[in-house]
Structures are given as C-alpha cells and as structure tokens.
Amino acid sequence: MDYKVLSRKYRPQNFDTIIGQPHIVNTLLNSITSNRLAHGYLFSGVRGVGKTTTARVLAKTLNCLDVQENQPCNKCQNCINVTESRSLDVIELDGASNRGIDEIREIKETVKYPPISGKYKIYIIDEVHMLTKEAFNALLKTLEEPPSNVVFILATTDSHKVPETILSRTLRFDFKKITNSNISKHIINILEKENINYEELAINMIAKKADGSVRDALSVLDRIISYSRDLISYDIVKDSLGIIEDDVYINLLNSIIESDQNSLIIKVKDVIDTGYSIENFIGGFNTFLCNGMLYMSGYKKEEFLSESVEKWFNSKKDLINSTDFMRIIEEVQKFEIDSKNLLQPDIALESLFVKLSIMGNTVQISDILSNFDTNNFENKSIIETNIENKQTIDESHDDNKVKDKIAEDKKSSSDNDKIRTQKESDLDFEDIKNRFNDYWQKILNLIDEKDKRISSSLYDQKVRLNNDTIEIDLGETDNTYEQKMLDENIDLIENSIYQIINHKLKIKIKSKMKEEEKEENHPLLNEIKTKFTNTKNS
C-alpha cells in the first residue's frame, strides 16, 4: 500500500482547517464574500506555515462549482482536480526550478485564454523570489494588466528579495510561524486519527523543535512513526532529535556562574562523550540562553519556557548580571557560527566554556567611564588591558572616544586586583601542572583569536611549565623575528594565560640566537631584518 506522508495526507482542504493564520483566512473569506478579489497576492512567511496550502484552498474556492459558506465543497470535479494537482485552470510553478524568462513568457501567452472549467485561471508561483530579473520583468507586465479572470498567487520565504515593482502590484499577506500549542494540537489530532499512542511531552518536544513550521513537525513525526508505531514516547523523540535537556544547560550555567572551571570541563566532556553533535548542542544552548534573556527582560508567553527553567531563572535573578549574560550569548553565537570550520571543535568547546566562566563579575563600561578623570591619561594602558580582559569593549563605541576618556583611577585598579586574588584560588595549580598541555592548547586558541601572528609563532615551540614560569624555547634556528614579536607582545600572552588559568605566571623566552646574533650577522643583514620586522608590525 502506498504510504502517504502525513503532511500530504492531512493537508488542509478548506479554510476552516488551515492552522494558525486566522488573520489571513478571515481577510480572504471577507474578500470572497464581498467579491473584491485582487489580481495578485503575495504570501510571505517562513517555510511550512501554510502559504501554498492557503493558495490552493483559495484557488479551489474560486473555481468550486458548489461553494458552501465560502468554503470549497471538495466534491465537485473542479475541487478534486485541484486536490490532485491536475486542474488545467490552476497552474502551479516552482520559482526555484523554473527561474527563467521562458516559463514566464509561457504564462504571458496562456493568460490570454479563458479558463477551461472554472471561473478563474489561477497561477500559483512558489518561491517567487528565485525568478531571474528578466522573468520578473515579464511577470510585471502581466501583473500590470491582467485579464479580469486571472489571479496570481505568489509565495515566498524571502519577500525582501521580491522587487518593489512586484510588491506594489500585489496584496501582501504575512504568514506567522505556527505556535507550539497549535502544532501540538495538530499532531495529536493526526495521531488520534492514525490510532497511534503518544506521550504529551514527546509531542511538545516535536512542536518546539519544528520552530513554527507544521511541515517540519510532520516530517519529524513521519520519521519517528516509521520506527516506533506503537508509542511516540518522550525518550524516542529525544534520542531521535538529538535534543539536549534543559537540565544539561542549567547545570553548565550553574558552573559558569560559580566560575567552577573543573566541573565545567567535566560537564562539557560528558556532553561530548554522550555523542551529541557539537553543532546541535551549541545551537540548543544558544536558544536556551536567548529565551532566558527574553524571560529575564520580562517577556512572558505561554509555553515559552518550561516550568523548571522559569524557576531556575527566578532563583538566579540576583546572580545574573544582564551585561554578562549578553556577553555569554555573544560568545556562544560566535562559536555557533565558527564551529563549522573548527578542526578540533571539542577542544574549542571546552575552552569556550572556561572562557565564559571567567567572564563574570564584569565592570560595566558605563561604570568605568563615570570614574574617569578625563585629564589623567597616565594609566590608560592599564585600563585598556583591563577592559580587554573583561571583554567589555563595546564595538559600537568609537575608539577615539574611549581613548580620550580613558584614564585609570587607582581605586578601580585595586578592585581589579581583588578580583584577581580571589580568582587565583579557583583553579587548582596542581591540576594546571598535570594538564599543562591541555591548558596551553586553550591559551594558544585564545591568543589565536587576538593575534594570529603571535599564535602561529608559538604553535611549534617547545613549551614547559617550570614552577611559576612558562618557558618557551625558540630552539636554535634563526628566530630573531619571532623573538622580537613575542617580546613586544608579552602582555597579550600573559593576559591570555591569565584568562585561561587564572594564575599570574612569568614567561621566559629562551633563544640560542639571542646572544649570538649580533656577532654572527652582518650589520647590513641586521638592518634589513629590523626594517622587515618593523614593516610587518606596522
């Protein structure tokens, strides 16, 4: 027997069964009642929200031989033909695969002929934004002077890509994403008709994952039914969608708030070991954080966050600083974008979380600026470093403005020292010694984000931890350039080390060349080298 995918089997066939778009359905019904049809409609909205379905129902209603209360009868030959996609009066075109002018020219030719069995000739062009410029121009001419019995329904997920000239000649309807509760109801309705048992939590999870798209929800449901027909359970859905439970994210956030790097690393390793894809995990964390931020800003909506998550955010209200939280979101979003290109995403993920945990307790830039004595520039480099450390640089801030105002206040500097002393106890030094190579890798990653020249000259060097000193051995080859650059950027290296391990360590750069180079090299060669280095650095 033919298996019909659910989205086709349960596609709404009249206005009453269209889900979640009452504003559009009512307007269309009114225009049918009052006989005020437009010649061109533009249906815009994300995929799977009912644009094409609504277009077909509208087309069917317009040509139905026995319309009842503005609904198609679904029994007459015209209705059946539309349902089975073989009506000669309802022409569907996919703009994504028929982008060219030829198809539109054909439309231009055929609009002249009257409909065959219905009152209207209806053209539904899906993904209309994909048409070429020439095709749009040809379409425009038809839209400008359409015969009275022709209706165009254009559908698009990217209305901003549709030329203004087309937009201005169509009546536009913006389709909303379908709410989770509407998607859930729809799924439950289908499962009951199909006689399949389900757990309500499982259905909510599918709805949430579908993110407003009925089609996506039903294709997930198809997949799950195909290997679990007896019961759609929470566990099966969770595994099949690779969904990470909110508890995992809450646990991670707890460790971030407590600046507990040890437990963070263990938890992140757990996540990786469980086999979740990093992409999935970080995407889920991102959504979780964004929802949390919306919630803390006072946004409340039914089924927006689970009860336990709401409870958690309420209990942490006083501990979460919104600036820190925003910064965490920024870092996670950045990681989500970059993660596709990372060679060792698991290591990068660990270092991301360590970084997030040391970003707390930040000073807001407005607080710093309010403490500035604008005439005192002495310590500006100190405060600049501090700001960089704390990741508080607001990119929209004009650099010069910051520099003009920047000057350090002794008090703020000692406050920072306090924070540092407090932090130094956080990470066990023994642990650092034992896993120094892991930490060094993270430090390199961080340096890499700041200045690729420095990280690349550090990558292949021998590095070891000797008491409280990191020794970097540049070896015996010619390394004047590396030597000079590392010397000049020692602050950046030190800061990065501090950011990862919360300890102030000394740095010693060992180089055989250091002492010998002056005697060995020809003066002219030295001059060239210095010039080369200066040019590179400037």
Closest separation in Å from C-beta 13 to Zn ion: 10
Q: Which residues sit opposite 326 in a β-bridge?
A: none
Site size toward Zn ion, by CB under 5 A: 5
225-264 binders of Zn ion (CB under 5 A): none
**Measured from the CB atom, is 15 or 335 closer to Zn ion?**
15
**Measured from the CB atom, is 79 or 220 closer to Zn ion?**
79
Query: Applying CB under 5 A, which part among 79-87, 189-197, 214-222, 403-411 lies near Zn ion?
Result: 79-87
278-307 binders of Zn ion (CB under 5 A): none
Closest separation in Å from C-beta 122 to Zn ion: 14
Closest separation in Å from C-beta 79 to Zn ion: 3
Closest separation in Å from C-beta 56 to Zn ion: 13
Return contacts of 385-393, CB within 8 angstroms, 24+ apart.
385/491, 385/495, 386/412, 386/413, 386/416, 388/495, 389/495, 389/498, 389/499, 390/359, 390/362, 390/363, 391/327, 391/331, 391/359, 391/362, 392/323, 392/327, 392/362, 392/363, 392/364, 392/365, 392/368, 393/365
Closest separation in Å from C-beta 77 to Zn ion: 8
Closest separation in Å from C-beta 156 to Zn ion: 28
By the 10 Å C-beta count (0-12 exposed, 13-18 middle, 19+ buried), 328 is classed as buried
| Sheet containing 171-174: order of strands | 90-94, 121-126, 150-156, 40-44, 171-174
The two structure tokens encoding residue 466: 């000797």
By the 10 Å C-beta count (0-12 exposed, 13-18 middle, 19+ buried), 492 is classed as middle
**Measured from the CB atom, is 71 or 98 closer to Zn ion?**
71
- 41: helix, strand or coil: strand
Question: CA torsion sign, 296 to 301 to 306 to 307?
Answer: positive
**Measured from the CB atom, is 120 or 312 closer to Zn ion?**
120
**Measured from the CB atom, is 76 or 243 closer to Zn ion?**
76
Closest separation in Å from C-beta 21 to Zn ion: 22
Closest separation in Å from C-beta 72 to Zn ion: 5
| The binder of Zn ion chosen from 38, 76, 365, 382 (CB under 5 A) | 76
| The binder of Zn ion chosen from 37, 73, 369, 492 (CB under 5 A) | 73
| 507 is a contact residue toward Zn ion (CB under 5 A) | no
d(CA 309, CA 287): 13
**Measured from the CB atom, is 73 or 293 closer to Zn ion?**
73
Which of 133, 155, 152 minimizes the C-alpha distance to 142? 152
d(CA 499, CA 442): 10
Q: Which residues contact 142 (CB under 8 A, 6 or more apart)?
A: 104, 107, 108, 111, 152
Residues 90 and 122: beta-carbon distance below 8 Å: yes
The two structure tokens encoding residue 360: 């707390």
Closest separation in Å from C-beta 208 to Zn ion: 37
**Measured from the CB atom, is 64 or 183 closer to Zn ion?**
64
**Measured from the CB atom, is 76 or 167 closer to Zn ion?**
76
**Measured from the CB atom, is 50 or 118 closer to Zn ion?**
118
**Measured from the CB atom, is 28 or 135 closer to Zn ion?**
28
Q: E-assigned strands of 70-120?
A: 90-94
Q: How far is CA 29 from each of CA 53, 90, 213, 349, rounded to the nearest angstrom?
A: 15, 19, 23, 52
454-473 binders of Zn ion (CB under 5 A): none
**Measured from the CB atom, is 82 or 289 closer to Zn ion?**
82
Closest separation in Å from C-beta 218 to Zn ion: 26
Which of 429, 435, 437, 440 minimizes the C-alpha distance to 468? 429
53-72 binders of Zn ion (CB under 5 A): 64, 72
* 290-318 burial code (b ≥16 CB/10 A, e <16): ebbbebeeeeeeeeebbeebeebbeeeee
43, containing H or E segment? strand 40-44
Closest separation in Å from C-beta 124 to Zn ion: 18
| 90 is a contact residue toward Zn ion (CB under 5 A) | no
Closest separation in Å from C-beta 64 to Zn ion: 3
d(CA 471, CA 493): 12
| 79 is a contact residue toward Zn ion (CB under 5 A) | yes
d(CA 192, CA 199): 12
Q: Which residues contact 409 (CB under 8 A, 6 or more apart)?
A: 371, 372, 373
**Measured from the CB atom, is 14 or 156 closer to Zn ion?**
14
Closest separation in Å from C-beta 18 to Zn ion: 17
**Measured from the CB atom, is 71 or 180 closer to Zn ion?**
71
**Which residues here bind Zn ion, judged by CB under 5 A?**
64, 72-73, 76, 79
